[in-house]
Amino acid sequence: MKRRWLLIIGALGLCPAAQAHLVTTGLGPVYDGVGHFFLSPEDVLLAVGVALFAGLRGPSAGRSVLVALPLGWLAGGLAGLFSDWAAVDGQVPSAVSLFVAGVLIAADAALPRWAVTIVAGLLAAAHGFYNGLAMREAGPVVAWLQLAGIAAALFILAALFSALVVALRRPAARIVVRVAGSWTAAIGLLLLGWAIRLRR
């Protein structure tokens, strides 16, 4: 069963980056934003990875990331929405951020709470920026609501996964989380190689 889940996670990570699509659910722009997020595997993996790392660092870091992750994503999204940049492919930044998150988890890096919060906010802002670029074609009001939907999904995801790790007491369980981090870093490297190859 464990091997099957690892294969599923790896397959999701190898999916092409979904930065340039807009999802229409028929339920309104907020749910469209939620759909956009959950159909972007690299975004979901990053959010889960950051939440896992925050959980490893304890309840205080988990609470901080619970705020930093959605707010950072929202701020980055608004920056992308109102920027003068042309819509660009965000595969390389997504791959690098996945690799960074995975290495932090695998190493169980003993960062203080403020550093965990800053890292979470910066990684979220980078992904949010490319989301904002992709959502510009929907118009500012609709895009704002879509970004709000993404922020709500991030809050829930961060709460679930950070709390799951905080509750772990056995050392073996924490090792499993660190192994998941090594897989996240490997997926980041694979995505980076894929993106570089596609650019040639």
Divide the 200 residues of the chain into consecutive groups of 10 and give the mean pLDDT of each group: 46 42 67 83 91 92 93 92 74 87 92 93 92 81 87 92 89 90 90 79
In a domain, 102, yes or no: yes
Q: Are 159 and 55 in contact (CB under 8 A)?
A: no
- Choose among 170, 171, 162, 154: nearest CA to 61: 162
CA distance 74 to 129: 8
Structure tokens at 156: 């829930």
pLDDT score at 86: 67
For residue 8, being part of any structural domain is answered with no
Cα gap 120→54, rounded to integer Å: 9
Q: List the domain range (segments joined by +) for residue 112.
A: 40-199
Residue 26 inside a domain? The answer is no
Which pLDDT belongs to residue 19? 41
Establish if 3 belongs to a structural domain: no
d(CA 59, CA 48): 16
| Cα–Cα distance, 83 to 69 (Å, whole number) | 21
Whether residue 5 lies inside any domain: the answer is: no
* Cβ neighbours, 10 Å, residue 113: 17
Cα–Cα distance for residue pair 188/63, rounded to 1 Å: 26
Give the pLDDT of residue 25: 61
pLDDT at 11: 43
pLDDT at 80: 87
Domains: count for the chain: 1
| Domain contains 30 | no
Question: Residue 57 has what DSSP assignment?
Answer: T
